[in-house]
Structure 1
Amino acid sequence: MVREISVGNVVFGGNRPLVLIAGPCAIEDEALTLRIAAFLKELTTELGIGLVFKASYDKANRTSVTSFRGPGMTEGLRILAKVKAEFDLPLISDIHDISQIAPAAEVLDIIQIPAFLSRQTDLLVAAGESGKIINVKKGQFLAPWDMKNAVGKIESTGNDRILLTERGASFGYNNLVVDMRSLVIMRETGCPVIFDATHAVQLPGGAGTASSGQRQYVGALSRAAVAIGIDGLFWEVHENPDKALCDGPNSLPLQDLKGMLQDILAIDAIAKGHNGN
C-alpha cells in the first residue's frame, strides 16, 4: 500500500484523489509568478483538487551557457515565500547542491532532486536529513526498479516522506519515451508516484542550443498515467508558452488547463473507485 504524505491540507498517496503540482518552469519575474499562482489557486479550488506550486529559482542544467536560468536562489526564494504568504500554497522547487538545502528548506515544503542528480548519494542523504518531503525525479537514464536505491539513501536518514516522479526515459538522441509500467513499479516502493507529463514530452537539446517539446501530447499522456492510478500530476504552465524563457515548447497555456483537468479528474475517480466523490 502506498503511504500517505501530507503537506498542509494536501495529501499524496493512499487512495486519495490526484494532486496537481504546477507552475512555470522557472521564475521569470515576481508579477508573472504571482499571476500564475493566483490562476492555479482559483482553478484548483473550483475543481476541488489539491495544489502544490512549483517554480525553479535556478535551472542549472540548461542546454546552453547563455540560456535563462532564473533569478537565483535568494531572489527566487523571496518570490516563492510571497506566493506561500499570499495564496497559502505548499511549495516545491529544485536544489542542485548540498549548500542550497538549508536556505531552501526554510521556504519550501518539498525539496526536489532533479533527474540528472537522482543518483547523487551525498545530495540525497543531505536532503533527507532536512526532514522535508523529498521528491526525486527518476533520471532519464535509470530503470524504474533502480529508484529503490534512491529511496534507500533517503530512508537511511530516518526520513520516509518521499515522492518519486517519472519524467520519461532517453530514447535515442533528443527524445524521451514514457514506459507506463514504471508508474506501477515505482509505487511498489510504497512511495507516492507523480507523473511529470510536460517534461515527458520534452525533446532534450532538440532545438540545438535549447530543448524543444511536443506539448500536444501532454493531455494524452496525462490521461493514460492517471488511468493507471498515480498520486500526482506535474505540469509546467505559462500565460504564453511560446514566449516563456524556459521550457516553453513543453509547457501548457493556462487557458487549456480547466478542460484537461476536468477530464483527468473523472478518470482519476474511476481509477480509484471514488465514484466522483
Structure 2
Amino acid sequence: MEPFLKDLFKGQTYDDKQFFLIAGPCVIENEALLLQVAEKVSGICKRLGIPYIFKSSYRKANRTSASSFTGLGDDIGLELLKKTGEKFSLPTTTDIHAHDEAAPAAGYADVLQIPAFMCRQTDLLQAAAHTGKIVNVKKGQFVSGPAMKFAVDKIRKAGNDKIILTERGTTFGYQDLVVDFRNIPWMKAHGVPVVMDVTHSLQQPNQTTGVTGGNPQLIGTIAKAALAAGADGLFIETHPKPAEALSDGANMLQLDLLEGLLEELVVLRKALVR
C-alpha cells in the first residue's frame, strides 16, 4: 500500500493485504442517510479488515436532466460529509467539477474525486493537486488506460504525488458501457493505485427518459473480475433503498447486500495474494 494511503487509513484496523473500499450513497440526500450508511459499512469493513473511505457527493453537476436533484447546497452538503467522517473516524471523498471548487471542498474532504468527463480538464486537475489532498481521477469513458498518464503527469507536475486512478467503464454505443479489464494493469503501470468503480461501470446512460439505467445484478461479477485483474481498491455506491435514491438508484447496490458481497471478495483477495 502506498504511504499516502497508509496515512489516510491511520486509526483504522485493517489487513494491509486487502483491497480498500470507497463506498457510500451517490449524493448527499440528508444527514440520516449518511449516518446510516457510514455506520453500517464501517462496521462491516472493521470486521473484515477492509480499509474504508466514505463517499458521497455534495453536488451532482453532471445529471442527465435539468430537473434531477443536484444537492442540498454546497455548504450544507460539505458540512454533513465532514460530520459523518468525524463521527465514524473515516476519511471521506466527494466529487469536484470546477477548479474553484477544489479549495473549498479540500476543507471538508480527504480525497478529491475528479469525474470521468472531467479527466482532461487541466485547470481542474492542477487546482485539485494544489490543495495537497489525495486526487482520485476517474478514467474518462472515452480514454484508454495508457492515455491516463497525461492526467497523472499534470498532477505530479503541479507538485502532488498522491494520485489514484479509477476505471469506470468505456462507452459502448450510445446507452451502454463495457469494462476493458486491460485498463487496470495499464493504469497501474503509471505507478499509482488503481480502483474499479464497480457501480458506475454498470450504468446505462443517456436514456430518453432522462434517468440513467443500470445493471446492478452484475456488481459481484465486475468486482471479482477487477480484483483478479489486480485492482487495489473497489468503489461501490450503496443505498438502503436504491429505488428511492435521488441519484443513480438504477446501478447502486442495496445496502443489505453489501456485507455478503464483501465477505466473498475478501476470500477472493486472500487467494489472489497468497
TM range, smaller chain: over 0.9
User: Aligned AA for 2:96?
Assistant: I
CA distance in structure 1 between the aligned counterparts of 2:55 and 2:206, rounded to whole angstroms: 23
Aligned to 2:69: 68
Q: CA deviation at 1:8?
A: 3.4
Aligned to 1:220: 221
Aligned to 1:24: 25
Q: CA deviation at 1:16?
A: 3.4
CA distance in structure 2 between the aligned counterparts of 1:204 and 1:219, rounded to whole angstroms: 20
CA distance in structure 2 between the aligned counterparts of 1:17 and 1:4, rounded to whole angstroms: 15
Aligned to 2:247: 246
CA contact (8 A) 2:103 2:127 kept: no
Aligned to 1:154: 155
- Residue deviations 1:52-101 (CA, integer Å, cap 9, x gap): 00000111000000001121221111101110121000000001111111
- Matched position secondary structure for 1:268: helix
CA distance in structure 1 between the aligned counterparts of 2:148 and 2:73, rounded to whole angstroms: 29
Aligned to 1:128: 129
- Matched position secondary structure for 2:68: coil
User: Aligned AA for 2:71?
Assistant: G
User: Aligned AA for 2:80?
Assistant: I
CA contact (8 A) 2:9 2:51 kept: no
- Matched position secondary structure for 1:34: helix
- Matched position secondary structure for 1:5: helix
Aligned to 1:5: 4
- Residue deviations 1:168-223 (CA, integer Å, cap 9, x gap): 00000110000000001000001000000000100012352110101000111100
Structure 1 unaligned segments of length 5 or more: list them: none
- Residue deviations 1:95-118 (CA, integer Å, cap 9, x gap): 111111111111110000000000
Aligned to 2:86: 85
Aligned to 2:195: 194
Aligned to 1:145: 146
CA distance in structure 2 between the aligned counterparts of 1:211 and 1:72, rounded to whole angstroms: 22
Q: CA deviation at 1:140?
A: 0.4
Q: CA deviation at 1:10?
A: 7.8
- Matched position secondary structure for 1:248: coil
User: Aligned AA for 2:202?
Assistant: V
TM-score, length basis structure 2:
0.95
Alignment partner of 1:234 is 2:223: no
TM-score, length basis structure 1:
0.94
User: Aligned AA for 2:144?
Assistant: A
Aligned to 1:102: 103
- Residue deviations 1:98-151 (CA, integer Å, cap 9, x gap): 111111111110000000000001111111111100000000010111100000
1:145-184 matches, cutoff 5 A: 145-184=146-185
Aligned to 1:117: 118
State the 4+ residue runs in structure 1 displaced beyond 6 angstroms. none
Indicate the percent of aligned positions where both proteins have the same amino acid. Answer: 46
CA distance in structure 2 between the aligned counterparts of 1:256 and 1:141, rounded to whole angstroms: 31
CA distance in structure 1 between the aligned counterparts of 2:251 and 2:233, rounded to whole angstroms: 18
- Matched position secondary structure for 1:222: helix
Q: How many matched pairs?
A: 269
User: Aligned AA for 1:5?
Assistant: F
CA contact (8 A) 1:228 1:271 kept: no
CA contact (8 A) 1:57 1:71 kept: yes
Q: CA deviation at 1:9?
A: 2.1
